[in-house]
Structure formats: structure tokens, C-alpha cells
């Protein structure tokens, strides 16, 4: 989740200070409560067909031009330029939620599992987080929370009326 001490917002702030601390040669800006610095890892939050960057794409801030009010981000082999007005499309990605990471893989995943986010402690979500790791997955947290996640199955039934719809369409099995 994004809130509280072990949420992605706070973790991103802490990790940014550890991994990409401020230096005199790195330009940084504060937009909408988000501190962005050259060298920061970011994630695209929406599909932007004009720039050809999509929800979940990860990039690195190459440059911040305070005169032109532009931020240049490297996505793989491509560079994309954002006006300051469009910076709500990106956010720090030193830490991302399991939901944001779906469909992606990372060399190392550190899962923080705490009771603060008890509503999200399900086996399926825990499994999804673990399977994002290519080489190493570390689980950090409270034993109680990890135990709850492992034991909790998401027993919410889905009422899709699929069987009724298939019968109405004349499909039988």
C-alpha cells in the first residue's frame, strides 16, 4: 500500500535519501509534494500515447532543466521529455506496490509485510509479490503479518453471472 511508515510513499522518500542523496551537481525540484532529483528511478502512472510511455514503465531521470521547466527521463533506449505541468504522470519508483509491479520482474524484490496493511495480507498477493523476483526475494516484516498472509485465501466470490450469460448465448458445456 502507499500510506503509513512502510507504505511506498514513505519508503520512496527514505530510499531516495539512501540511494540517490542530494549533491551539489544534481538538480532537484519539488512538485506537488514530490521531490524529484536527477538520477531518481521513476514509474509512469498513466498511459501516455503521445509520448509512447505506459502505466508501469520504469525510467531514470537524466536531467531537470529549471529554465525550460522540463524533466528528461530515460526509458530503456528512449528518452522522454516532460513539462513540469505533466509531472503528475510520474512518481518515484524506488519502492512500488505489488499491484503496480504486476507484469514486471526485478532482479531483487524486498517484500515488507506488516500488520499496518492487514487488509492486503492475502496469499495470492503475497505470491504475486514473490514471483516478481528473478533472482532473490527477501521478506521483511512481522511474523504475525507473514503468517496471516500465508494463511489467508481470498475467498471473495465473484458474481459475474458467467454461467447464465453462456447459457443465454446458447453455449453449453
User: Can you tell me the mean pLDDT for 6-18?
Assistant: 90
| Residues ≥6 apart with Cβ < 8 Å to 121 | 113, 115, 145, 148, 149, 152
Is residue 137 classed exposed, middle or buried when 0-12, 13-18 and 19+ CB atoms within 10 A define those classes? middle
Over 70: is that where the pLDDT of 7 sits? yes
* Residue 155: pLDDT band with limits 50, 70, 90: low
pLDDT in tens, 39-68: 999 999 999 999 999 999 999 999 999 999
DSSP state at residue 48: B
Closest CA to 74 of 96, 51, 94: 51
Q: What domains appear along the chain, each with residue ranges and CATH number?
A: 8-92 (2.30.30.940), 98-151 (3.40.50.300)
pTM, two decimal places: 0.80
Amino acid at each position: 500500500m502507499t500510506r503509513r511508515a512502510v507504505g511506498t510513499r514513505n519508503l520512496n522518500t527514505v530510499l531516495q535519501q539512501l540511494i540517490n542523496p542530494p549533491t551539489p551537481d544534481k538538480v532537484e525540484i519539488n512538485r506537488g509534494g514530490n521531490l524529484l532529483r536527477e538520477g531518481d528511478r521513476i514509474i509512469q502512472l498513466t498511459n501516455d500515447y503521445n509520448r509512447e510511455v505506459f502505466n508501469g514503465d520504469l525510467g531514470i531521470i537524466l536531467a531537470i532543466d529549471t529554465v525550460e521547466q522540463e524533466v528528461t527521463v530515460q526509458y530503456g533506449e528512449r528518452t522522454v521529455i516532460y513539462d513540469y505541468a505533466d509531472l503528475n504522470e510520474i512518481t518515484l519508483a524506488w519502492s512500488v506496490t505489488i499491484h503496480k509491479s504486476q507484469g514486471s520482474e526485478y532482479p531483487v524484490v524486498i517484500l515488507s509485510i506488516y500488520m499496518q496493511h492487514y487488509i492486503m495480507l492475502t496469499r495470492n498477493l503475497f505470491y504475486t509479490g514473490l514471483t516478481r523476483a528473478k533472482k532473490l526475494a527477501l521478506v521483511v516484516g512481522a511474523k504475525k503479518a507473514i503468517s496471516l498472509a500465508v494463511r489467508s485465501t481470498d475467498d471473495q466470490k465473484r458474481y459475474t453471472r458467467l454461467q447464465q450469460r453462456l447459457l443465454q448465448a446458447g453455449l453449453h458445456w
